[in-house]
Structure 1
């Protein structure tokens, strides 16, 4: 099972992306635990996730997040703005799985 976190500031649009990703995983028969979390709470969940994707609005915080959590830096990335804007759950799920499998 893939454990995926989407990180945001407020969560409204990210919550919709989570739903699209869950639907994509279900349709493909992929076991995944996908949830949205606020950036300020990363220390509470990062150790238990396989992939941590920052929303495009937080892309500028990626380097800071990687420096704050160096032992988990390789599983932190950002969601492509186009995929996020189009709510492309299939593509974002695919990117998260690729990130998780790099570990």
Structure 2
């Protein structure tokens, strides 16, 4: 699965990205994931299968969907804040089924 994480500047999603990589790895799953800011996603979305956005930029969700035509969802605030990888994985799998 190839996931592009989008947040305001890419910093908070970078921390989440590292936690997700570890979680997937411990379960023997293959994951390609990259964290970027809003200003960067248009330059690289073609390399990914789904997009997940941080809650702080969820107001741009529809715009990102329209610009990329990829399955896209906002990560729920609580899951994002605590890095609940189990719930985030569940959301990612649901999005992946939409592609």
Give the secondary-structure state (helix, strand or coil) at the position aligned to 1:25. helix
Who is 1:82 aligned against?
A: 78
**Conserved? CA contact 1:53–1:76, under 8 Å:** yes
Q: How does 1:18-97 map to 2 (within 5 A)?
A: 18-69=17-68, 72-73=69-70, 75-97=71-93
Mapped to 1, the partners of 2:81 and 2:62 lie a distance apart of 22
CA deviations on 1:61-101 (whole Å, 9 max, x unpaired) are 011222333xx14x111111110011112321221122112
Paired residue secondary structure (2:36) = strand
Give the number of the structure whose residues are more often helix, by fraction. Answer: 1
TM-score (norm 2): 0.89
Q: Does the 8 Å contact 2:9/2:38 carry over to 1?
A: no
User: Gaps spanning 5+ residues in structure 1: where?
Assistant: none
How far apart are residue 56 of structure 1 and its match?
0.2
Q: Name structure 2 gaps, 5 residues minimum.
A: none
Q: Which runs of 4+ in 1 moved over 3 A?
A: none
The total of aligned residue pairs comes to: 99
Q: Is the 8 A contact 2:24 2:31 kept in 1?
A: yes
Q: CA RMSD in A?
A: 1.4
SS in 2 for 1:85: helix
